[in-house]
Amino acid sequence: MNFLNWFIKWRFWLGLAAIAGAIAVNITSGFWPALALYLIGAIFIFTHFFVGPLRLIQEHLEGGDFEGAEKVLNSIWFPNLLYKPIQSVYYTLKGNLAMMKQDFTTAEKHLKKSSELGSAMPEAEGSNKLQLGMMAMQRGDLKQGESYLRAAIRAGIPDKESEAVAFLGMCQILMNKREFRAAKEFFRKAKACKPKTQQVIDQVKEIEKYISRMPG
């Protein structure tokens, strides 16, 4: 663990120690000698709640340590005090971890909260909307699924694989609505993404069996 990560991990307690030291200096030597410690303590505690420890999650995610990532998220006592873009990332991460546990109800709740807060990165907003759209489709709520998928495509999706998933989702919804011309257009867009994930390739092949028979 580098110094910055160590500092972030212990910043709150260092802030409390600085405040305690400031009080001791204040009692023995007066307010002005203690002022610097008061300021340091206040800054440490403020940044702990305003910025949070989300930087610590990166090494856990890169190492596949999702339990460690969840512990970092659970160490955030008051997420509503986080700076708004960081708060959005917090709820996105909570949602993604819930999805990995197949807890789709909790995942949807967190991803919706993240989406409401907005994101400084349009690509992250697009990914968020895509996940919400796919969950809505799994529930059979095609109307909400279409709304989320269109919003995801408008916001921009960061990689071709996910973009193909969004286009295929739209294709399936429009096929269900018998809007065949539009469905074919989204299918062409999905194929143009040249997906490499086997699951997505299989989905393309499955839809291809029916798409050529459709009018329009």
User: What pLDDT, in 10s, does the model give residues 87-113?
Assistant: 999 999 999 899 888 898 999 999 999
> With bands split at pLDDT 50, 70 and 90, how would you rate the model's confidence at 70?
very high
User: What pLDDT, in 10s, does the model give residues 164-216?
Assistant: 999 999 999 999 999 999 999 999 999 999 999 899 999 999 999 888 887 76
Mean pLDDT along residues 37-52: 96
User: What pLDDT, in 10s, does the model give residues 118-158?
Assistant: 876 666 788 899 999 999 998 899 999 999 999 999 988 88
Q: Are 95 and 127 contacting, i.e. CB atoms less than 8 angstroms apart? A: no
Angle at 57 between CA 55 and CA 59, to 5 degrees: 95
Task: Give SS3 for 120.
Answer: coil
Residue 12 lies in a domain: yes
Tell how far CA 138 is from the center of its chain: 20
| The amino acid at 70 | E
Residue 8 lies in a domain: yes
User: Whole-prediction pTM value?
Assistant: 0.78
Can you tell me the distance from the alpha carbon of 200 to that of 135, in angstroms, rounded to the nearest whole number? Answer: 16
| H or E stretch at 11 | helix 3-29
Q: Domain span at residue 8?
A: 1-50
Residue 23 lies in a domain: yes
Residue 18 lies in a domain: yes
Residue 33 lies in a domain: yes
**Which is higher by pLDDT, 100 or 163?**
163
Residue 46 lies in a domain: yes
Tally of CB atoms within 10 A around 121: 14
pLDDT given at position 131: 92
Residue 82 lies in a domain: no
**Mean predicted lDDT score pLDDT of the chain:** 91
Structure tokens at 146: 């279409």
Domain count, the chain: 1
Structure tokens at 178: 């018998």
Structure tokens at 13: 């307690």
Residue 14 lies in a domain: yes
pLDDT above 70 coverage of the chain, percent: 97
